[in-house]
Amino acid sequence: MIYLVLLLISFSLTYFIKNHYIKKAILDEVNERSSHTMPTPHGGGIAIAITWFIGITYLNFINEIDPTLFYSLLVGIVISVVSFFDDIYELSAKLRMIVQSIVALLGIYFLNGFDSINLGIFSTENPIITNIFAFLMIVWFINLYNFLDGINGYAGSEAVFLTVAGFLLFGGAHFIVLVVAVLGFLYWNFNKAKIFMGDVGSTLLGYNIAIFTLYYANEEPTNLWIWIVLFGLFWFDATLTLVRRKLNGEKLSLAHKKHAYQRLNQSGWSHFKVTNYSIGLNIVLFFLVYLISNVYISFSISLVILYIGMKFVDSKKAFS
């Protein structure tokens, strides 16, 4: 029953936020970097955030979530609030980075640190190395999720996939809460979007995925690689695009439209088609970790699949 209530909260909040933003003309205008063609309300991620924090607070109240995980996830309130104001006032990149760094440190603190990194042929439990890695991963996940939120349904469907996959592999009511929080918003965002997620939603989702990754890796070190495979569609695109732009001598702080999903859209694929194909690729990644017990083999195969996918995108719209 609680999940239905949360779904209705997310659905209703997104509807009211959409109408309020239209009335107040708080719209994401079309420019040369846009993938949309009409001014559209943004900031619908507020509904995701409010629903999410209500849900996990309820789980904590009934003792259905590990307190360590709960408090580390609750830190996400900070990134949500700051990103909400960023959606409206466009805060400076320096301020955003300071906030993201503080949030990352707090998240690691409430997780009681990151225990170990196991690369198969090399592992370490040195707390300096492991916690620096955790810090950089949280900040990178926050930003890359924001980078990959650009077309209808793309970021939302990725969140639904990751949380459903997390539930199937690890269990946990927190995954169901996040699924329904996102689905209520996604109804208004999928295919022909009536509202966008905005930074308030994308940064929170990136933070949550980072915390899930670290939390379950603390339970079992090889779980780190399971989450890396599951999140492969986003981190592979964001990381490779960043490297390519650096090699091109581009200023990395400038906005662009060179991610794989953006180039597919430029090649003539609709938002709907790009998003649906991404869902299909995600399902393949899930079955890699579900069917192959050796995480290093599944990770290696996932890299090959993601590379082939990127070459396909390059054939449709060259990276330049």
Q: What is the pLDDT of residue 20?
A: 85
Q: What is the pLDDT of residue 147?
A: 87
Q: What is the pLDDT of residue 97?
A: 94
C-alpha–C-alpha distance, residues 82 and 95, integer Å: 9
**Amino acid letter at 233?**
L
**Residue 37, C-beta contacts closer than 8 angstroms, at least 6 positions apart:** 30
Tell me: pLDDT of 96 over 80: yes
Which position has the higher pLDDT, 207 or 250?
207
Residues spanned by the domain of 290:
2-316
Please provide the distance, in angstroms rounded to a whole number, between the alpha carbons at the two ends of the chain: 51
Instruction: Please name the residue that has the structure tokens 């581009």.
Output: 250
**Do residues 316 and 263 make contact, with C-beta atoms less than 8 angstroms apart?**
yes
User: Where residue 191 falls among pLDDT bands split at 50, 70, 90?
Assistant: confident
User: Where residue 158 falls among pLDDT bands split at 50, 70, 90?
Assistant: very high
Tell me: pLDDT of 263 over 90: yes
Instruction: State pTM to two decimals.
Output: 0.94
- Answer positive or negative: Cα dihedral of 22, 150, 93, 160: positive
| DSSP state letters, 120-147 | SS-EE--HHHHHHHHHHHHHHHHHHHHH
C-alpha–C-alpha distance, residues 10 and 80, integer Å: 15
**pLDDT digit string, tens, across residues 282-302:** 999 999 999 999 999 999 999
Q: What is the pLDDT of residue 39?
A: 74
Tell me: pLDDT of 35 over 80: no
Count of the separate structural domains present in the chain: 1
Q: What is the pLDDT of residue 220?
A: 93
Range from 56-70, 85-99, 249-263 that averages highest in pLDDT? 56-70
What is the three-class DSSP state of 185?
helix
User: Where residue 33 falls among pLDDT bands split at 50, 70, 90?
Assistant: low
If one counts every other C-beta atom within 10 angstroms of the C-beta of residue 72, the result is: 24
